[in-house]
Amino acid sequence: TSRISAYERPGYFVDEQVRGPFARWHHAHHFAPDGAGGTVMRDVVDFAAPLGPLGRIAERVALGRYMPRL
């Protein structure tokens, strides 16, 4: 479950995990004109895996490679 914690139209909004698989999930969506009549969207994600030390290992081994590709 997530909630919108910040919103400024038309520039950005932020959703944060309230309940779910991550220890922390903060996802900012930024929107800007591309100069050609379209829009560029940039996502910034700050997250922490659950399970303490085991989760930190998972972040480095698996999630660290996967997340930038989203």
pLDDT at 30: 98
Has this prediction a pTM greater than 0.85? no
The total domain count for the chain is 1
Cis (ω within 30 of 0) for the bond into 21?
no
Domain holding 59, by residue range, is 2-69
pLDDT tens per residue across all 70 residues of the chain:
999 999 999 999 999 999 999 999 999 999 999 999 999 999 999 988 888 888 888 777 777 666 666 6
The beta-carbon contacts of 46-53 under 8 Å, at least 24 apart in sequence, are 47/22, 48/22, 48/23, 48/24, 49/22, 49/23, 50/21, 50/22, 50/23
pLDDT at 68: 64
pLDDT at 38: 97
